[in-house]
A and B are shown apart, each in its own frame.
Chain A
Amino acid sequence: MYLYPITFYIFSLVAVISALMVISARNPVHSVLFLILSFVNASGLFVLLGAEFLAMILVVVYVGAVAVLFLFVVMMLDINFVKLREGFLQYLPFGALLGIVLIIELGILFLSISFSENSLTKFVQSPQINEIENTKLIGQVLYTDFFYLFQISGLILLVAMVGSITLTLRDRGQVKRQNISSQNFVDAKNAIEKKKVKLGEGI
């Protein structure tokens, strides 16, 4: 079967190139679009790995919701491209340092530790992958062994949500609002008022 490697190379090549374009594109909207492209290709790679649930969640959550709002914000901003370029050399050493640290860490991880002995799988008995579909697999692990971590991550999201609402919600006072229920109950009787106007006087 040659289709599998061909699709793998297409997905990974496009993912890597678009990831490079994210940081090198001049226009920020193009950057976000390339980011979306690399997300989609990453989810394609997940599908090839047999992690189809993860792939779909990646598309639904990151591409379908997060990146839309991201694009929304970037499109609305009035960005001065020349000013954006100015800080490039200033931040370059710091960025390079971060990159090097990450590469060294990954190298240490891959060279010294073999995954079969020292990874999480030793502590958690996970079911065999090919026996059940991986949606059930994730459910079985997520709501049993990782239940508390799952609850804590939910709490973190809740705190973030409450925080962002309290930061942005303020009483503007002067804004006119409509009372929907009173609007719905409007009919001919209370919408129109008949008045007899006397000649030469007005209301």
Chain B
Amino acid sequence: MNSFSYLNDLIIPGSIIIAQIFAVLMPVLISVAFLVYAERKVLALIQLRRGPNVVGPFGILQSFADALKLLTKENIIPTNSNKIVFLLAPIITMVLSLAGWAVIPFAPNWVIADINVGIMYLFAVSSLGVYGIIMAGWASNSQYPFLGALRSAAQMVSYEVSIGFVIITVLLCVGSLNLSKIVEAQQTVWFAIPLLPMFVVFFISALAETNRLPFDLPEDESTLVAGFSTEYSSASFVLFFLGEYASMILMSSMTVILFMGGWLPPFDIFPLNAIPGVIWFVIKIMFILFLFIWVRGTFPRYRYDQLMRLGWKIFLPLSLLWVVLTAGFLIAFDMVPNSL
């Protein structure tokens, strides 16, 4: 085995993969910082305040200042906690919220791993997200985090079910699990229009899945202090925070791919289709993220039993009905996609 074959077979492909990962993750992490800033600014405007306006022009560097402050603080590990699991929990949350980006197509062929089961992979990664929270709650060995973790586990498992059915509805119209093919299938019309009820169900379930208001029961500050992240400080808290916002961006990009035509322009006419696909993709993600923040600024928090009722008694039957209706419609009008 000479050194040349190592170079060709291991180092070059390995470093290409690592470079691709960096090329995707650095913008994601930076956009997390700006998402936090945007959230504070939009909430401030909703509440007729100014929001962050001191650090940098218009306060744009506020999130970086906050991150720096948090990172230089002492990392406190409670004496009665289970130390390894306690430290592992934020790492898992962070890693899972970044792992999903491996299959997201930003534009035609702009994807790290163009796998056949892309949407299943995203679904799997988002369903694993509950482990970070449940481990944090258990390892903290404290009442409020534990209650938060239990709430979050039940909530995420419930809403995953309806997300699964919504994904199946979209897949019936596409005939493939590949994310690029899902986007290409929306060339004529975005799925948000024929499948509008499913779009709404998916958006609300995405709010619940990312523990955002009005479903942020796991970290409900008026009853649970800070929920599962009560005992966390410094860098481990930063990881939770980053993970939460990165998974928000991931869920909105999933919404964009499934329902809003990914990188496709709204109409295939000249000035619109001259703009590169990745810009359309980012604009649509920003729109969905704005909806996330808007909802946070508008609605009061759900009560826990109402949350469960919404998931199991309304969304589940509704999405199940739509799967059957869509399948029946496709069969009746002979519109089943060819690739199926």
B338 to chain A, nearest CB (A): 12
Chain A residues lying within 8 Å of B124, measured Cβ to Cβ, are: 56, 59-60, 63-64
Chain B contact-residue range equals 20 to 34
Q: Is the CB of B121 within 8 A of A69?
A: no
Main secondary structure of the interface of A (DSSP, over half): helix
In the complex, chain A residues whose CB is within 8 Å of the CB of B121: 56
Contact of A3 among B10, B85, B146 (CB under 8 A): B10
A: contact size bracket: 20 to 34
Query: A52, B115: Cβ atoms under 8 Å?
Result: yes
Give residues in A with beta carbon < 8 Å to B: 1-3, 6, 27, 29-30, 33, 36, 52-53, 55-57, 59-60, 63-65, 68-69, 71-72, 75-76, 133-136, 178, 180
Which single member of A33, A65, A133 contacts B135 (CB below 8 Å)? A33
Minimum distance in angstroms from A5 CB to a CB of chain B: 10
Instruction: Decide if the interface of chain B is mainly helix, strand, loop or mixed.
Output: helix
Are B128 and A59 in contact, with the CB atoms below 8 A? yes
Report the number of A-B residue pairs with Cβ-Cβ less than 8 Å: 79
- Report A114 CB to chain B, min CB distance, Å: 31
CA distance A60 to B85 in the complex (A): 22
Which of B117, B128, B154 sits near A53, CB closer than 8 Å? B117
Q: Are A64 and B120 in contact, CB atoms less than 8 angstroms apart?
A: no
Q: Does B53 contact A (CB under 8 A)?
A: no
A100 to chain B minimum Cβ distance, whole angstroms, is 34
Chain B, residues 1-44, CB within 8 Å of chain A (1/0): the string is 00000100110011000000000000000000000000000000
A3-B13, A52-B115 are known contacts. Are A68 and B134 too (CB-CB below 8 A)?
A: yes
**How many whole Å from B252's CB to the nearest CB in chain A?**
21
B179 partner residues in chain A, CB cutoff 8 A? none
B160 within 8 A of A: yes
Name which residue of chain B comes closest to A65, CB basis.
B157
Determine if B130 and A68 form an interchain contact, defined as CB atoms under 8 angstroms apart: yes
